[in-house]
Amino acid sequence: MAEIKYEIVEELGVLSESAKGWRKELNLISWNGAAPKYDLREWAPNREKMGKGVTLTEDEVKELRRIFEEKVVI
């Protein structure tokens, strides 16, 4: 299996942190040298490991925002 390379282009925010120090973060990440995408996933302390996450394009983030504004009561 090929090595996955990534570069965190911009740290956007931390949503939560577990008792074990894993943090759920929203970042802008370039995967394998591609254009950066929005990425939401958990990271171990010092980012030595990552959990499964979801990666979204800018258009997908805009659509997610629209859905939240229309359907989710906060």
pLDDT in tens, 5-60: 999 999 999 999 999 999 999 999 999 999 999 999 999 999 999 999 999 999 99
User: Which pLDDT score is estimated for 54?
Assistant: 98
Distance CA(24)–CA(18), nearest Å, equals 8
User: Which pLDDT score is estimated for 21?
Assistant: 97
- Which helix H or strand E contains 63, and what residues bound it? helix 58-71
pLDDT at 72 over 90: no
**Sign of the CA dihedral running 44, 50, 51, 53:** positive
User: Which pLDDT score is estimated for 4?
Assistant: 87
CATH of domain 6-71: 2.30.31.70
User: Which pLDDT score is estimated for 2?
Assistant: 81
User: Which pLDDT score is estimated for 1?
Assistant: 75
